[in-house]
Amino acid sequence: MNCNRGTRLAKCGPILTSLLLAGCERAPSFDVVGSFFPAWLFCLAAAILLTVLARLFLKRLRAALLLPILTYPSLTAAFAFALWLTFFR
């Protein structure tokens, strides 16, 4: 069998592309004054607000963070993922 990698990719490329794009049926978005905004943008904005509230709460408790430069972005990501999974499963 003398199969070239390029010919195999040319034969299987459209099939793989159709399988990868099968999940892209509809992007969750919100209509805000006639413009559509992606839902992840709202999740990120809410996550930033929740992180600010968590920071104020931790500051009130006088909790010492070891690496705040890693803690707050990680907390923002965790809040954003949780909001996305809660509302847009």
From the CB of residue 14, how many other CB atoms can be counted at a distance below 10 Å? Answer: 9
Mean pLDDT of the 62-74 span:
93
Structure tokens at 18: 């159709």
At 64 the three-state DSSP class reads coil
Q: What are the phi and psi torsion angles at 38 (to 5°)?
A: -70, 150
Q: Got the DSSP string for 34-58?
A: TEEEEHHHHHHHHHHHHHHHHHHHH
pLDDT band at 89 (very low <50, low <70, confident <90, very high): confident
Mean pLDDT of the 8-29 span:
69
- Look up the pTM and report it: 0.66
Q: Is the pLDDT of residue 33 over 80?
A: no
Mean pLDDT of the 29-37 span:
76
